[in-house]
Amino acid sequence: MDIVAIYIIAAGGIFVAFFFIRTLHQLCGPWTRAGVLLHLTYLAVNLLLIFFKIDSLTGAGRRAGELALVNLVFPLSAIHLSYLADLLGIIWRSCRKIHRATGWMAVSLLSFYMTVALQTQSYIFPLREAAISLGLLVLLSLPLVRRLSYEIFLRVHQVFAGIFVYGTWRHLPSHSHASKIYLLVALGVFGLTLLSQSIVFLYRNGLFSGRGTPRAIVSFSVSEAEEDSVVNAVHVRVLLPRPVRVEAGQYINLWMPSVSLCSWMQTHPFTVTSWSKGKQDTMELLVKPRTGLTADLARYAPTDEQTEGSSISFLALITGPHGVSEEVGQYESILLLASGCGVAGAIPYLKKAIYGYNTCTSQIRRLHLVWQVESIDEMSAALTLLNRLLKDDIVDGGYILHISIYVRDGLGHKKFLLGDHKRVYLYQGLPDYQSIISLEASGNQIERLSNMWDEQGRMLVMVSATDELRDRIRGVVRDYLHEGVKLSELEYQPSD
């Protein structure tokens, strides 16, 4: 082959590789370098364990089969990922990533095992049911199917996982003690987590304690469109029979069986926007209507002027509060970046930070919320909550909270000041995250004492935004890590 042909093939290969990685990044990402490295290490360890000092292909296949069962311990260990994430002290998304990685690894190993067994005619156990349910599990886990109906995906996923375990157990040969032990460990962990989860669930909801069950009081933010009224947000207040302590940024899984025909089989995670130092007996949630249960809820919005502003009460049960809360007290400045309903994740942190400042229990001197919304209507849904924050932030006229709202369409002005204290600005268009982060990281936005040494403190950037935005912000913050800037991605990240 001549040198030009080699050059063309190499250049074409690099181009295709870049295109492939970029497309994969958009479809399955965003991922970080650390994430990719961890996944590759995980793959390498599994490959090593299969092929290290192996004498035959059959042996490699058998090892792959056993390894698949070991890998399955994680995906099978809890019915609710939120609960498992709490046990491990990690955020829900990380737990889902581990669940996904171990699940796909087990599927690949089992596929290898079956291929080898078929080729060498040494099918140790006929995995018919297990193979079929595993194949269906894989198909149903594809993002396309998941997006069609999340709830159906979730329930069918759980049913097929059950059939898979049953099929595998039935066909394990009686002498294969190790394989049985792996499966028993997975089932044992599952049983334990289910039991403890059920006890906490019964206690938290006051069931069998004579205190009554939690109720959800639902009200709506409605705006008038040309033909119809549009529900911008659903406000849910969950009244609890037992007060509970909720850390900033935590969420609950809400079960509201009487909202619609199928709502009894659905639980949905929502961030608790209310925060207080002690326990709360009422939790507040800000819900964006989508296409499933949240849309069913929005259909209860009053249509005539007489009932406008009224609320409806539903039976509700909860699990949680779940999730990891970021410690904010040791930072001098906090920048919260939110898009759309992601502001729900930012509000409790703002409350906590203002409380810390007012009571002199934290080092915070500046809070800046940058909120990106599509329209003025979307913004109006959270205005009451933001107004309450501004009211709390009044000690000594210090005003540490600043809010910048970027509205993509319909503002009519490039920049617009709201209120008297230069604390809230509305902008038309999209935020320039590079310059916002750079300005905040410089520390110049904080008034410093001129007659004494006032050392600049650390800065925290918190994000609750779409995948694409988060990816961009990660890239910007990376340049400021050496200046002590820390990035924290909140539990709730809106998908659009």
Ligand X SMILES: Cc1cc2nc3c(=O)[nH]c(=O)nc-3n(C[C@H](O)[C@H](O)[C@H](O)COP(=O)(O)OP(=O)(O)OC[C@H]3O[C@@H](n4cnc5c(N)ncnc54)[C@H](O)[C@@H]3O)c2cc1C
Q: Which residues would be at the binding site for ligand X (CB under 6 A)?
A: 92, 147, 150, 251, 267-271, 285-288, 290-295, 341, 344, 491-492, 495
Kindly state the smallest distance separating residue 336's Cβ from ligand X, in Å. 14
For residue 272, give the DSSP letter. B
CB atoms within 10 A of CB 189: 17
Minimum CB distance to ligand X smaller for 205 or for 232: 232
Kindly state the smallest distance separating residue 289's Cβ from ligand X, in Å. 7
One-letter amino acid for residue 263 of the chain: S
Tokens encoding 388 = 């309450």
Minimum CB distance to ligand X smaller for 132 or for 262: 262
For residue 491, give the DSSP letter. S
Kindly state the smallest distance separating residue 293's Cβ from ligand X, in Å. 4
CB atoms within 10 A of CB 337: 27
Kindly state the smallest distance separating residue 96's Cβ from ligand X, in Å. 9
Minimum CB distance to ligand X smaller for 107 or for 231: 231
Minimum CB distance to ligand X smaller for 347 or for 403: 347
Kindly state the smallest distance separating residue 10's Cβ from ligand X, in Å. 40
Minimum CB distance to ligand X smaller for 179 or for 250: 250
Minimum CB distance to ligand X smaller for 147 or for 413: 147
Minimum CB distance to ligand X smaller for 58 or for 294: 294
Minimum CB distance to ligand X smaller for 89 or for 397: 89
For the chain, give the number of residues. 496
The sign of the CA dihedral 371, 373, 379, 385 is negative
Minimum CB distance to ligand X smaller for 268 or for 365: 268
Cα-atom radius of gyration of the chain, to the nearest Å? 26
Kindly state the smallest distance separating residue 429's Cβ from ligand X, in Å. 24
Minimum CB distance to ligand X smaller for 44 or for 139: 139
One-letter amino acid for residue 318 of the chain: I
Kindly state the smallest distance separating residue 457's Cβ from ligand X, in Å. 29
Question: Residue 350 and residue 390: Cα distance in Å, rounded?
Answer: 10
Q: Are 107 and 138 in contact (CB under 8 A)?
A: yes
End-to-end, the C-alpha distance of the chain in Å comes to 50
Minimum CB distance to ligand X smaller for 216 or for 344: 344
DSSP labels, 344-395: HHHHHHHHHHHHHHHTT-S---EEEEEEEESSHHHHHTTHHHHHHHHHH--G
Q: Are 231 and 221 in contact (CB under 8 A)?
A: yes
Minimum CB distance to ligand X smaller for 351 or for 365: 351
Peptide bond between residue 30 and the one before it cis (omega within 30 degrees of 0): yes
Question: Residue 81 and residue 93: Cα distance in Å, rounded?
Answer: 9
Kindly state the smallest distance separating residue 495's Cβ from ligand X, in Å. 5
Q: Are 52 and 46 in contact (CB under 8 A)?
A: no
Kindly state the smallest distance separating residue 496's Cβ from ligand X, in Å. 9
Kindly state the smallest distance separating residue 290's Cβ from ligand X, in Å. 3
Q: At what angle do helices 92-119 and 128-141 cross, to 10 degrees?
A: 140
Kindly state the smallest distance separating residue 253's Cβ from ligand X, in Å. 7
The sign of the CA dihedral 128, 134, 138, 139 is positive
Residue nearest ligand X, CB atom distance:
292
Sheet-wide strand order for 401-407: 415-418, 424-428, 401-407, 366-373, 333-339, 459-464, 485-489
Question: Residue 88 and residue 86: Cα distance in Å, rounded?
Answer: 5
The percent of the chain in helix, strand and coil, each rounded to the nearest 5, is 50, 20, 30
Measured in whole angstroms, the distance separating CA 27 from the mean position of its chain's CA atoms is 17
Kindly state the smallest distance separating residue 305's Cβ from ligand X, in Å. 26
